Amino acid sequence: MQDRADSHANGKRWTLDHPELGTGPLPVTPYLSTEYFEQEREKIFTRTWLCTGKKGEEIPRPGDSLVLDIAVGKTSLLLVRGKDGRVRGFHNVCKHRGNRLAWNDHGACGSGLTCRFHGWTYASDGRLIGVPEEDMFFDFDKRDYGLSPIAADVWEGFIFINLDPDPPETLHQYLGEVVDLLRGYAFDRLPLSWSYTAEQKCNWRILRDSQLEFYHGKALHQQFAGKVMINKQQPSCHVLDAKLFRRHSMMSFYGDRRNTQRTPMERLMAQFGASLKTFPGVREMDRWPLGVNPTRSKQWFFDIYYIFPNFHLVILSPFLFVAHTMLPETVNRSTWNARGYFPQPATAAESVTREYNKCLARDVWLEDGSTLENTQRGIESGVLSQYPVQDQELLIRHAHKVAEELLASDAQAG
Amino acid sequence: MSDTSLPEPFADLEPLAAVWALATETERNRQRLGSTMAQIQACYDTLLPRMEAVLTYLSTFPPEPPDALPQETRRLLYLALALAEITTAVELHQQPSVPAGFDPQRFIPDHERTRP
């Protein structure tokens, strides 16, 4: 395969391909304004597909369930695998008088899920199937009191939900081009290997934007990524490709891992297992999914796929990816779940290589985490009214535009 | 005393194991953050030259659950995992913690509750 890297990361200004986005600074209003956040809650988070970050394999058997509290939707959700194998979602609210139905993060409701309050029982498809003293209710029909559904569907194993029970687009329509670009990736073969959750006192967009560009790689992650990112031909350029979709986006990053001085531990780890920092090799590249290293560059570092509004896939190799799920709680509080998917160790030695990669990823995320609350405080100080966005931060500019359009189009409809 | 010994070829690593052979990431990370850089460097410098032998030895055992491993092997695995934990301190940060990093105590490892 011809190395096309010469024609990429070569000074191109990606933003100029999208004149509708402009090149001006962006406002800080979304990080600060409670009114703006309420609009986002109403017009984005309760109407678009959201990734839960959970995978279908976490509820493998009929009746297996999990509970998710979605603060931005002001609700608790119950995801259940039905007898037909489908994953369904419901508000986790008993339809008698509103008590919380399921209490455990994970459960198995083989013969039904029973509310603790008065013993109402629901089937895994949401039907109300048992009501103690049913004959004492008036004009009562159990069919009127099934659990309130939300939309739930699965893409490449990831469970998505939509608080609109009847969304105008299916999940696959919503995901659009991303489905084809990543088809064939090893999502089904890489197990969840580590997962960290952090509550952050910052707006969800600060969290989101922190994983939406890699301009910060050269400074914040200098030790981890600085040398890899050195581009002698075009020192300011680190983007191989950028694709903007209707809602979502992707960026492919330049990195010359072959020229990096390997540390002693890195050499050992590469000898005994998979590694985050080792270049995965180019021989098989033609068989990679179209959307992984889409320019087929030998100077490929990793790709980000951003699924609007709350899900990032970071594909670091054919055998390692990361998934970030981010959800707001209030205008200045958010939850961040960062997960690593890595080959299942075959030996105790490979458990060590997995641990090494986990600790490396964790420490890099702790660097990311250091900026979040400080940025929120900085913005709340009132020093900034807007901020400049460089060319390779294009995905932030695009995501802002996508949100603005959703907020505006609904305003017209309303 | 069987849970305080390593497999025979690695008996010389016993003093390190007494400090670092801890069962969970949280414990190993806490040990790292509570150690001086000199202590961490000493652990790294002693373990690294033995690591190829350690990993070759561990290659003959199944990965998990650790409870299924012989006690000595499990202890050696925990020690090797501790090297994985401190490597970033030595090779990336040159200090025990991530410089100006987010508080690790607020970065909750969910995998410790449900997974290895």
B1 pLDDT tier (thresholds 50, 70, 90): very low
The 10s digit of each residue's pLDDT in A43-77 is 999 999 999 999 999 999 999 999 999 999 999 99
Q: Nearest C-alpha of chain B: how many angstroms from A21?
A: 33
Q: At what angle do helices B25-33 and B71-88 cross, to 10 degrees?
A: 50
Q: pTM value?
A: 0.94
Interface of B with A in 26-55 (CB under 8 A): 48, 51-52, 55
A270 touches B: beta carbon within 8 Å:
no
In this complex, the residue of B59, B73, B108 whose CB is nearest that of residue A196 is B108
Q: Nearest C-alpha of chain A: how many angstroms from B1?
A: 23
What is the number of CB-based contacts under 8 A between chain A and chain B? 128
B23 touches A: beta carbon within 8 Å:
no
- Checking if the pLDDT of A277 tops 70, the result is no
Chain A residues with beta carbon closer than 8 angstroms to that of B51 = 265, 268
Q: Nearest C-alpha of chain A: how many angstroms from B58?
A: 5
What is the predicted pLDDT for the residue at B47? 97
The 10s digit of each residue's pLDDT in A108-157 is 877 789 999 999 999 999 999 999 999 999 999 999 999 999 999 999 99
| ipTM of model | 0.96
Q: Nearest C-alpha of chain B: how many angstroms from A152?
A: 24
In this complex, the residue of A197, A347, A370 whose CB is nearest that of residue B102 is A370
A359 touches B: beta carbon within 8 Å:
yes
What is the predicted pLDDT for the residue at A6? 44
Which CA distances in Å does A76 have to A71, A91, A102, A160, A287?
8, 6, 9, 15, 42
- Checking if the pLDDT of A276 tops 80, the result is no
Q: Nearest C-alpha of chain B: how many angstroms from A185?
A: 24
Could you tell me which chain B residue has the CA closest to the CA of A369? B102
The 10s digit of each residue's pLDDT in A243-266 is 999 999 999 999 987 766 678 998
What is the predicted pLDDT for the residue at A5? 43
The 10s digit of each residue's pLDDT in A317-366 is 888 999 999 999 999 999 999 999 999 999 999 999 999 999 999 999 99
Angle at A203 between CA A200 and CA A225, to 5 degrees: 70
Interface of A with B in 179-218 (CB under 8 A): 192-199
Could you tell me which chain B residue has the CA closest to the CA of A336? B107
Average of per-residue pLDDT values in chain A? 92
What is the predicted pLDDT for the residue at B6? 96
A86 exposure class (CB count in 10 Å sphere: 0-12, 13-18, 19+): middle
